[in-house]
Amino acid sequence: MRLTRFFLPILKETPKEAEIVSHRMMLRAGMVRQQSAGIYSWLPLGLRVLRKIERIVEEEQARAGAVQLLMPTIQSADLWRESGRYDAYGKEMLRITDRHDRDMLYGPTNEEMITDIFRGYVRSYKDLPLNLYHIQWKFRDEVRPRFGVMRGREFLMKDGYSFDVDKEAARHAYNRMFVSYLRTFARMGLKAVPMKADTGPIGGDMSHEFIILAETGESEVFLDKAILGLEIPSQDTDFFSDLTPIVDAWTAPYAATDEMHDAAAFEALGPDQRVSARGIEVGHIFYFGTKYSEAMGAKVATADAGDVPVHMGSYGIGVSRLLGALIEANHDAEGIIWPAAVAPFHVGLVNLKSGDEETDKACEDLYDRLTAAGVEVLYDDTDNRAGAKFATMDLIGLPYQLVAGPRGLKNGVVEVKTRATGEKEELSPDAAVNKLL
């Protein structure tokens, strides 16, 4: 992508309304634009990151046996009347009336709709287990939308739902998502800690929030340092084998949010083991049994016990919130430092003297070679000052900067800068291309 043909509206001023670094940087780097409180347009640079995150989620969901579909954003209130949540949900729900005076709503979540889909088609335990998910915009009329995309009103969520014949099978479904979430966040370069979460009236131990430690997080969290050193399950994990040992290892060390905090258990840890910190909830997995299947008549025939309501769980990931969380975890004074897996481009190519025949030619050649090899390059071919080009590259945080100017080229070299370390290397153009492949 050539910067002269891209749309990257960099802001020079730091927007006053942004309280935290990720929000400031997303606005300054031209990733999002606020359209009204908690509602954002995704500008091209931001959208590229959002799509990268989605791809990782999709790959890891597929690995764990979940199947993607797509449900609408607008739902009928009738479904929610069946579950009893239409009145219970309160002011976070955006309620809409259509021209025929029918009550509609912009979905804040999809338990009712997925249960309706399930009951429309599935009759037998032989069709289970089943896990269906989508990645779709949600609307929650949050009392206090803030921190940019971290607490939006319209936000992108991956939400999945599992269906099983009994609690034991549902536990296995839960474990698959537990392991899948560990892998999903790790692939984005994030350390997400599963923490015991509230199960409400369902009870039991099958609710975990996945939390990124960050000072600006809205939750207060308490954990045993040991959990930070555990190994992420490998990509060869057989999701249909017994995952209990992995889940047991990850749930043995103490880790809880303030809602579930057990001060005595935490204090019993050694002083060097105790970590109390703040965190950002990026995912939440939850077994809720037959709450919706019973209310909405989603039953399957069993081999020997007649028809039973199906056991369900739900599994959410805050896809758009993750952009904020990623920046909170990866930045310096100059700007964002994207982990390679989610970076909007891999390389920023900086032409130090656009218009200089030799430099233009060298840059075009580097651009063509990298692009042909499938490397995503953002080529700054504008005639801005070198200083401004460097500042933009540091701000938008691509993993590598490839810099070519007349002086270096005379000596047969270009410069490769690694954004994360600031390390700079002078290399021949060939060696630079090889390094960036």
- How close are the terminal C-alpha atoms of the chain, in Å? 17
Is 171 a binder of ligand ATP (CB under 6 A)? no
x-marked contacts with Mg ion along 271-290 as a string, rule CB under 5 A = ----------x--x------
- What are the contacts of 84-89 at 24+ separation with CB within 8 A? 84/295, 85/112
Helix (H) or strand (E) segment spanning residue 54: helix 44-63
Is 288 a binder of ligand ATP (CB under 6 A)? no
Which residue from 160, 194, 283, 289 is in contact with ligand ATP, where contact means CB under 6 A? 283
Which residue from 155, 161, 288, 379 is in contact with ligand ATP, where contact means CB under 6 A? 155
Rounded CA gap, 381 and 384, in Å? 9
| Least distance from Mg ion to the Cβ atom of residue 75, Å | 18
Nearer to Mg ion among residue 255 and residue 300 (C-beta)? 255
Which residue from 316, 344, 405, 408 is in contact with ligand ATP, where contact means CB under 6 A? 316
Nearer to ligand ATP among residue 52 and residue 346 (C-beta)? 52
Core vs surface per residue 102-138: b (16+ CB within 10 A) or e? eeebbbbbbbbbbbbbbbeebeebeebbbbbbbbbeb
Nearer to ligand ATP among residue 313 and residue 429 (C-beta)? 313
Note whether 108 and 140 are within 8 A (CB): yes
Instruction: Decide which of Mg ion, ligand ATP, none touches 155; Cβ closer than 5 to 8 Å per partner kind.
Output: ligand ATP
By CB atoms closer than 10 A (0-12, 13-18, 19+), residue 193 is buried
Instruction: Decide which of Mg ion, ligand ATP, none touches 311; Cβ closer than 5 to 8 Å per partner kind.
Output: none
Rounded CA gap, 208 and 196, in Å? 5
User: Site residues for ligand ATP, window 58-117 (CB under 6 A)?
Assistant: 109
| Least distance from ligand ATP to the Cβ atom of residue 202, Å | 14
Which residue has the closest beta carbon to ligand ATP? 318
Is 158 a binder of Mg ion (CB under 5 A)? no
Is 54 a binder of ligand ATP (CB under 6 A)? no
Is 196 a binder of Mg ion (CB under 5 A)? no
Q: Where are the beta strands (DSSP E) in 128-198?
A: 130-139, 154-164, 192-196
Query: Taking CA 54 as the corner, what is the angle to CA 51 and CA 60, rounded to the nearest 5 degrees?
Result: 145
Q: Cα Rg for the chain, rounded, in angstroms?
A: 24
CB atoms near residue 165 (< 10 Å):
21
Is 291 a binder of ligand ATP (CB under 6 A)? no
| Least distance from ligand ATP to the Cβ atom of residue 47, Å | 16
Q: Which residues bind ligand ATP (CB under 6 A)?
A: 109, 140, 142, 151-152, 155, 157, 281-284, 316, 318, 320-321
